[in-house]
Structure 1
């Protein structure tokens, strides 16, 4: 487990929610409006909570907002735009992603539901925001399919392979797949899949059958040119 350490005097506390504390680092203040940022993070928290929980989360949640990935690396020894620490009820994220519910979803889902397969956790976190880099999930997945940038099912389903994959493609791919499953089988079925990790038991068909149904659904979309990085898988 990583431990976040920083001088307490570097942070400014903002809060307008009884269970949410937002600390803005001094270095981040030049690029953000503090009151607007607080409203943005509060809304992201409420969206994640509505997605995950049938009831309120009684524990206090802390969000630390830092300037950039380099500052994030100083705090948690890893370059990332955001990271959740569910056991500590803590999220650390850079200014540029505070509008998303992604890390707050990870914090809440693990506390309410426990752990699941990596692709399910990431796919549902992305579906919670219902977009990736501002793009519609299905439109982006269809574009990536056209560009031969979707991973095979086996890569998605294996935790090690999923984490080793290029997240530019594996994350929105998982997000679109989860959205498809939610649209066709319902959110309750996704919660069941979270617990069982078993397609046959949850959906009545194999993972391969359902996955290829999703791929076929992308073929029905009108693929538009999307401004999105194309790199090697």
Structure 2
């Protein structure tokens, strides 16, 4: 087993605020964030930035192992081994810290152009955000529900619950999103994240399991259910729901 040696970089003393968010230079925005002083450690694949007295600083070795595990899982899941390095990780304590840093009501985000991930500590070790980097950098952009579903499927869980079992529960409560609505690319972020993310993950899992990997890669590029799978949204919905009905756990 290869050993990863952590070594500490110089502490970054950074101030002032930048508005660079979508130009591929997200790192400068976070480096220049007012009242943030960054420390870092580095392996062959990534540089991880964290704050003084943060959870990361108190758990450096376990953090390094978890990040390394997440990268390994993402590479195995996507089949993409030639990862762009280094990945720049900015790790915050929780959702509140994430919003203070980014201004966003999320817990994690990735930027493929700058090879950057901003992530809450409790998500460290999951492959979700690394899968976003690998898939977008190697296959290009796709519809939001496909990209998010693929990344959710990589971890197979949502909020520590199996995505298929969770969707089975949502089905029984009549809370699933009609696929014709879910498939509209500009609508994804308008849905309840506790439904659209696991539902998309379960759907992508179903497509890959039933129709195969090559068809999915074609679907990633074309984003058209009928042209790739020769079924419409209603037919896929019926097939998937019948599969969910075979699950007896609740």
Question: Could you state the TM-score of these two structures normalised by the residue count of structure 2?
Answer: 0.82
- Tell me what 1:229 maps to: none
- Tell me what 2:9 maps to: none
Preserved CA contact (<8 Å) 1:72 1:93: yes
Q: Select the residue among 56, 62, 69 that pairs with 2:95.
A: 69
Preserved CA contact (<8 Å) 2:164 2:244: yes
Please list, as runs of the form range in 1=range in 2, the aligned pairs for 1:1-233 lying within 5 A after superposition.
2=21, 3=26, 4-6=29-31, 10-16=37-43, 18-29=44-55, 33-224=59-250
SS at match of 1:84: strand
Q: Which digits, 9 at most, give the CA deviation of each residue in 1:95-145, with x for residues without a partner? A: 111121111111221111111011101100100111111111111110110
SS at match of 2:88: strand
SS at match of 2:49: strand
Higher helix share: 1
Two-structure CA RMSD over aligned residues (Å): 2.0
Q: Which digits, 9 at most, give the CA deviation of each residue in 1:65-103, with x for residues without a partner? A: 111222222222212100101111000011111121111
Deviation (angstroms), 1:208? 2.2
SS at match of 1:104: helix
| Shift in CA distance, 146/70, structure 1 to aligned 2, threshold 3 Å | same
* Structure 1: gaps of 5 or more residues: 225-233
Distance 1:20 1:188 in 2: 30
Preserved CA contact (<8 Å) 1:66 1:94: yes
Deviation (angstroms), 1:30? 6.8
* Structure 2: gaps of 5 or more residues: 1-19
Deviation (angstroms), 1:11? 2.6
SS at match of 1:12: strand
Distance 1:160 1:210 in 2: 20
Larger Rg: 2
Stretch of structure 1 that moved more, 91-100 or 43-52: 43-52
Distance 2:84 2:31 in 1: 26
| Shift in CA distance, 30/119, structure 1 to aligned 2, threshold 3 Å | closer
Preserved CA contact (<8 Å) 1:25 1:64: no
Question: Could you state the TM-score of these two structures normalised by the residue count of structure 1?
Answer: 0.88
Q: Which digits, 9 at most, give the CA deviation of each residue in 1:141-187, with x for residues without a partner? A: 10110011100012210122221000101110111111111111122
Distance 2:80 2:197 in 1: 26
Deviation (angstroms), 1:53? 4.3
